[in-house]
Amino acid sequence: MDFRKIDNLSVDCVVLRLEENTLKVLLRKRALNLYDENSPVIDDWVLPGHYVLKSNNLGETANRVFKELTGEDHLNKNQFRTYGNAARIKSDKDLLWVRSRGAKVRTITVAYYLIVASNKDLLDMDDSLKWFKLKSLPQLGFDHHQIINDAYEDIKGKIITDPLIFDFMPIKFTLNELQMAFESILDVELDNRNFRKKVSSKSYIVPLEEKQKGVSKKPSRLYMFSKDVYNQVVETDYIINK
Amino acid sequence: MDFRKIDNLSVDCVVLRLEENTLKVLLRKRALNLYDENSPVIDDWVLPGHYVLKSNNLGETANRVFKELTGEDHLNKNQFRTYGNAARIKSDKDLLWVRSRGAKVRTITVAYYLIVASNKDLLDMDDSLKWFKLKSLPQLGFDHHQIINDAYEDIKGKIITDPLIFDFMPIKFTLNELQMAFESILDVELDNRNFRKKVSSKSYIVPLEEKQKGVSKKPSRLYMFSKDVYNQVVETDYIINK
DNA sequence: ACAAAAGTGTTTGTGATACACCCATGC
DNA sequence: GCATGGGTGTATCACAAACACTTTTGT
């Protein structure tokens, strides 16, 4: 195992989740104090990422980023684009930052997105990590604004044909939760009755006997996504139509 | 302009075209003679590609690859995936080849596909370049088999929703040609009458007054794709359904 | 006049859309 | 018993699928 970094190759992760039907991205504080503790030269946010180690694969590096953030493994990741233009790193802050880490100014970043289920408690997040609404991001370093937008566009495209939506959901979920997840990600409104009809026609969304508990209203039925069943019927079956 | 190579970053291009309704890929001969002129140590095929120069962007590098192959500019390219695993280059041949070119064994390859219109004459192709049927590829170096398959899968996915098919077509084409293009890329059969109905409903596929010439049968009407019109109606309009 | 491919219409079925009320539960 | 969200059915419309014959041209 060779722990040296490849000094011009990094992996950045767009970590996403739904919180109260709002898409959020996990960002890491980027702070650099040169002279004075109280007036940092750099004070903004970036995507969590890592330089790739000589013995690590790209996907492994993405997994590792996630594991370091949350202490947990994450299997579902998606490489969606690579950023490596010559002038990608050009602002004074970005140049300063990259040099301060001993890396090349011409750094190639392979970008992944990782989706975290909405019920998952991510413990032990230190103060330098924070979830931001996708629609109101803070000041970001590098081209990370672009990267986040590209990730979002990719997801919006795939969510209609791929079973990506279930990565956002808890293992057991209600149909209304599922509908709201679609609505908030795609920014559309769906008819509840038609949505339920459509979902019932999908063999891979299976109703459980179990019902919600601890709600002060009629408890709703729980469903789960079966990947096994899905794999048998993929060919023909889209989830929702646009 | 800095003409030095970044010694661990390359761009590989999957150059595709339809020839007689068969998908073909452009490959470059990889030959290395060490001792004996007549028994090369390496004698197989690879995707055309280039190490990225210090002053070149990724997309520029893809364009440059194409320009060097054909002498022509090509605007439509698509970055679809990046390959950079630690053990990506591992066969003796590949290691030998990479070292003979003074590059790093851990090379990251950003892969693009480029689509060439079927009527385009690509002149001046030297003997080291050849079109192969996608379905019967020769012995390939590196992981280029994988890369070609990934490109093909990406295209099959996008061709249903994006106007990618027109990159394969001449500017003016007949509806039957268009149908056959879909059929050969997706490997399906379509009903001619239904296909024509569907196409007529697309405002961005516009009939011309002109007809085919020099054919020994009823000459068919020519159509063209209007990107202008397309951009106005994208939101709602898919080309064919699966 | 014949060969070859172009072009055309109708029917049937499935799935999308639109829409309003009763139900089950916790408090 | 009431407030809250859960759950259900029907009618209409648009589009996908299936299918066979006539037309136009060059030779």
Identify which of A205, A162, A182, B236 has the alpha carbon closest to the alpha carbon of residue A190: A182
A26 & A99 share domain: yes
B36 & B96 share domain: yes
A132 & A191 share domain: no
- Report the pLDDT averaged over residues B112-117: 96
pLDDT at A235: 63
* Residue A108 domain-assigned (yes or no): yes
- To the nearest whole angstrom, how far is the Cα of B119 from the nearest Cα of chain A? 31
- Report the pLDDT averaged over residues B58-75: 91
Pull the structure tokens for residue A124: 């032990």
The CATH number covering residue A119 comes to: 3.90.79.10
The CATH number covering residue A214 comes to: 1.10.10.10
Q: Is A55 on the interface with B (CB under 8 A)?
A: yes
Can you give A84-110 as a three-state secondary structure string? CCCCCCCCHHHHHHHHHCCCCCCCEEE
Percent of chain A's residues with pLDDT above 70: 96
pLDDT at B235: 63
Domain that residue A32 falls in: 5-158
Helix (H) / strand (E) containing A8: strand A5-19
B12 & B79 share domain: yes
* Residue A242 domain-assigned (yes or no): no
In the 136-195 stretch of chain B, whose C-beta falls under 7 Å of nucleic acid strand D? 191-194
The string of pLDDT tens digits covering residues B177-221 is 999 999 999 999 999 999 999 999 999 999 998 888 777 788 999
A80 & A107 share domain: yes
Tally of residues, chain B: 242
pLDDT at A60: 96
Neighbours of A116 (CB within 10 A): 23
B126 & B173 share domain: no
The last residue of one of the domains, among A158, A186, A220, is A158
A134 & A20 share domain: yes
- Report the pLDDT averaged over residues A123-142: 90
Mutate to test the interface with A, among B12, B58, B237 (most CBs of A within 10 A): B58
Number of domains in chain B: 2
The last residue of one of the domains, among A110, A133, A158, is A158
B122 & B19 share domain: yes
B14 & B128 share domain: yes
A43 & A138 share domain: yes
User: What's the CA dihedral at A123, A126, A129, A133 to 10 degrees?
Assistant: 50
Of the pLDDT bands very low, low, confident and very high (cuts 50, 70, 90), residue A238 is low
E-assigned strand segments in A117-193: 129-133, 172-173
Could you give the residue ranges of the DSSP H alpha helices within chain B?
58-70, 92-100, 144-158, 165-168, 175-186, 192-200, 227-233
Q: Look up residue B108 and give its amino acid.
A: I
Model confidence at A241: pLDDT above 70: no
Pull the structure tokens for residue A212: 């919600």
* Residue B152 domain-assigned (yes or no): yes
Selected residue with higher pLDDT from A234 and B99: B99
Is the CB of residue B217 inside 7 Å of nucleic acid strand D?
A: yes
Is the CB of residue A193 inside 7 Å of nucleic acid strand D?
A: yes
Mean pLDDT, rounded, of chain B: 91
- To the nearest whole angstrom, how far is the Cα of B30 from the nearest Cα of chain A? 26
Identify which of A208, A207, A196 has the alpha carbon closest to the alpha carbon of residue A240: A196
B47 & B102 share domain: yes
* Residue B242 domain-assigned (yes or no): no
The string of pLDDT tens digits covering residues A1-59 is 899 999 999 999 999 999 999 999 999 999 888 887 778 888 999 999 999 999 999 99
Residues 6+ apart with CB under 8 A from B8: A6, A8, A9, B103, B104, B106, B107, B108
* Residue B151 domain-assigned (yes or no): yes
The last residue of one of the domains, among B158, B191, B214, is B158
Q: What is the pTM of this model?
A: 0.93
The string of pLDDT tens digits covering residues B14-57 is 999 999 999 999 999 998 888 877 788 899 999 999 999 999 99
pLDDT at B211: 82
B147 & B189 share domain: no
Q: Is A103 on the interface with B (CB under 8 A)?
A: no
Mean pLDDT, rounded, of chain A: 91
* Residue A41 domain-assigned (yes or no): yes
